[in-house]
Each structure stands twice: as structure tokens, then as C-alpha cells.
Copies of this chain bind each other. A is one copy, B any other.
């Protein structure tokens, strides 16, 4: 199968369950909301070594938020429910409560499978001066701070979502692949309920499980040598085509499989608009590890 002249490999992305939260951060201005959202989702690429997977999902204009102010929806994800609750407390408590003019609301809404009492716990910061209140249908706490009042919703919905949706972009030059990856991320940002947790949404250093080098057996993950252009003539099992000199991966986490699929579809389409992209493929473990198998070609049927 080809799209815009780019070969789509007949393979699948292998993805995994993960607990997902979806949080709306509002502030006096869009820029102030973004500062808080960026800090709260930083150091959040992969739970291999980061304490969570996190990212900004989308901007919400003032006309669509509970308090009439601009906001950003972020997602914070972790395989363990207890760790997700801890991350929510820490990231909202340290990176949003401290950020000028912010308020925090649940954005999982009716998709929630369970709830965690994040606002209920953060309210203790108020030292008894906080007030329980209603904002529309929402139960919130109003906590007095130096910068006025911090509003946080009582409970936040969480659900079992999907981690590790992915595809790889292979192109004639490293920079072609990189720009195509950025185009893919641009497109994915128009899809609801998904994030691309890596820096700028892009993975430059794909990994494989374990190590092939016998001296490095202590490593749980090492470079995906089959996908490294500079190793094409060095390793025997390279999967980098002759005309490819750059490879980037897009990793997608989301609230549900449908959203992740939609994100993969629009991301791949956008990548193919950049001239010089040669091939789109995806990462899997032979179907042995993950619950979800998202076949690239079926996305376009």
C-alpha cells in the first residue's frame, strides 16, 4: 500500500493498557495556562525511567471551560493506578498550584472508570482556610494562596487507556524524517483524547528490549540497532532501506483505542505530505507482549 507515494508497511503497532487521567488547567490567559501545563507534563516521556507519561492534549478556549478562562487539557498516565494518583498529587500540587492564576478541573468526564480524590487531598494545603464550593455541577475547593485563590476539583476521573501506539517515519534525509515527524505531531494535536509524550512529540532514539551485546546483558533496553541509519552497513539485521537516512518514531498514549487509531491515521497522512518520506512502519514485539495490535493498513481501509 502507498499513500502519497509513501510505502506503508504491512505491520502493526503493539500497544499496552495504561491508567490515564485527563485534566483541564485554566488560567487568566492562554499563555499562563500553557506555562503550568508544560511544567506539569515535563519529565514525562516513558515510564521506563520517567515517573509518568504525560503531555498536553489540546487547547480549550474560554468559551468552553467551566470558569470562562482559557485552558489546556493534559493527560498523565501510569501503568499502576496508585502511582498515577501519586503523580497527579505531585504534578498538580507542585507544578500547577504554584503556577500563577491557575485552576484545575477534571476533563475525563463520563469516560471515567474510577475516581481519585486529588482535590480532596490537595485542599489540606489550605490549612483550614480553604472553602468547599460548587462551580456549575462540579465540587471544587477554593484554596487561598499569595496569588489569590487556587481552585481544584474534588475528584478526577481515571480509566484504563492505551499506551504505546506508534509508527516510524523513514526518509531520504534525517531532516526530512524530522520535519515529517513534526508534521505528524501537528496533525495528531487535532485529535482528542491522545498525547504524544516524548519531547516535541517525537522519539529520536528508539529502543529494543534488552541488549544484543553479551557484555550489556544488564540493560533492560538498548538502541534499536536495526533502525539506525548509521549502522546499516555495520549490522547484519538492519531494516533501514538503502534510500533512507533518517528514522523517527511517534509514540501515542490515549484514553481509548479508537482515539489512538485516529491519531495514528492522521499522523501518518500528515507525514506523507513531506517530500522525501519513503516508508512508514510500526513497532511491535511480534504480538507477544501487548494487548492491542493496531494494523497500519487497516487504518486506511
CA–CA, A230 and B147, complex, Å: 9
Which residue of chain B lies nearest to A229 when distances are taken between CB atoms in the complex? B148
Interface segment among A16-24, A28-36, A108-116, A289-297: the answer is A28-36
A46 CB → nearest B CB, Å = 6
Which residue of chain B lies nearest to A42 when distances are taken between CB atoms in the complex? B42
CA–CA, A101 and B42, complex, Å: 19
Interface size class of A (residues with CB under 8 A): 35 or more
Selected contact of A228 from candidates B49, B70, B129, B235, CB within 8 Å = B129
B247, A147: Cβ atoms closer than 8 Å: yes
Selected contact of A42 from candidates B44, B102, B124, B225, CB within 8 Å = B44
Query: CB-defined interface of A268-299 with B at 8 Å, one 1/0 digit per residue?
Result: 01100111100000000000000000000000
A98, B204: Cβ atoms closer than 8 Å: yes
- A200 lies within 8 A of chain B by Cβ: yes
Q: Which residues of the other chain, B, contact A69 by a CB distance below 8 angstroms?
A: 183, 270, 273
A100, B39: Cβ atoms closer than 8 Å: no
- A93 lies within 8 A of chain B by Cβ: yes
Number of chain copies forming the complex: 4
A109 CB → nearest B CB, Å = 20
Which residue of chain B lies nearest to A51 when distances are taken between CB atoms in the complex? B51
Pick the 6 closest A-B CB pairs, nearest first.
Answer: A42-B42, A147-B204, A61-B190, A128-B213, A127-B222, A99-B199
Residues of A within 8 A of B (CB): 28-32, 35-36, 38-46, 48-51, 54, 61-64, 67-70, 89-91, 93-102, 124-129, 143-150, 168, 171-179, 181-183, 186-187, 189-190, 198-200, 202-207, 211-213, 215-216, 218-219, 221-225, 227-231, 234-235, 245-249, 266, 269-270, 273-276
Question: Known pairs A100-B178, A128-B213, A150-B205. 17 more at Cβ < 8 A?
Answer: A28-B183, A28-B273, A29-B183, A38-B199, A41-B43, A42-B95, A48-B94, A49-B94, A68-B269, A101-B204, A128-B211, A128-B216, A129-B235, A146-B249, A147-B204, A148-B204, A175-B175
